[in-house]
Amino acid sequence: MNRSTVVGQESIRPKSKISLRSLTSKAAILEVCCFLITLLFIYAAISKLRDFSTFQLQLGQSPFITDYAVPLSYMVPIGEILLALMLIYKPLRLIGLYGSLFTMALFTAYIYSMLNFSYYVPCSCGGILNSLSWEAHLWFNIGFVVIALAGIFIQVHFKNKA
């Protein structure tokens, strides 16, 4: 039997160039990106809140943000938790991804500035991140900037194609 004798064969094939498998892969990658960022923010916020007085003290020792240490000591963990919740709640996911990108870019710029322009480099990160060197921390943050960018790209692309 040749192709011309099969009735309706062409109508079964999807019209779109994007396959279901491709959409599923993108959705899975998006979920992994959001999960990793959520995990990072929840872990970081809990670490900061568990030893809040040390976090606040270390922020106060930073030469660039000394004057803003008290409000930042509240804003940073609260912001991290809010961003994590946005990443979990799908209608707010894109906003959460943009907020995560902005936050991680700020953290990365801060670390870069501390490494290159500061005479004193206190670490106000909690948990296991506290054990990283500043250079390793910089690369860690750059990695999460890339993850946030990938999540944004996939979210925008996936939303338009689904």
Per the CB < 8 A criterion, the answer to whether 79 and 95 are in contact is no
Q: What is the pLDDT of residue 162?
A: 44
pLDDT band with cut points at 50, 70 and 90 for residue 151: very high
Q: Which of 158, 156, 151, 153 is nearest to 36 (CA)?
A: 151
Query: Of 120, 94, 110, 96, nearest to 142 (Cα)?
Result: 110
Percent of the chain with pLDDT over 90: 59
C-alpha closest to that of 143 among 129, 155, 131, 160 = 129
Q: Which pLDDT score, from 0 to 100, does residue 23 have? A: 65
Distance separating the N- and C-terminal Cα atoms of the chain: 35
Helix axes 93-117, 69-88, angle to 10 degrees: 140
Q: What is the largest CA-CA distance in the chain?
A: 80
Over residues 9-13, mean pLDDT: 50
pLDDT for residue 133: 85
For the chain, what percent of residues have pLDDT higher than 70?
78
159 vs 137, higher pLDDT? 137
The DSSP letter of residue 119 is S
For the stretch 56-115, pLDDT in tens is 998 898 888 889 999 999 999 999 999 999 999 999 999 999 999 999 999 999 999 988
* pTM (2 d.p.): 0.81
- pLDDT in the model for residue 117: 87
pLDDT bracket for residue 160 (50, 70, 90): low
**Do residues 148 and 104 make contact, with C-beta atoms less than 8 angstroms apart?**
yes
Give dist(CA 16, CA 162) in Å, integer.
Answer: 11
Q: What are the extents of the domains in the chain? A: 20-161
If you ran DSSP here, which 8-state letter would residue 125 be given? Answer: -
Cβ 155 vs Cβ 30: under 8 Å: yes
Residue indicated by tokens 């599923």: 24
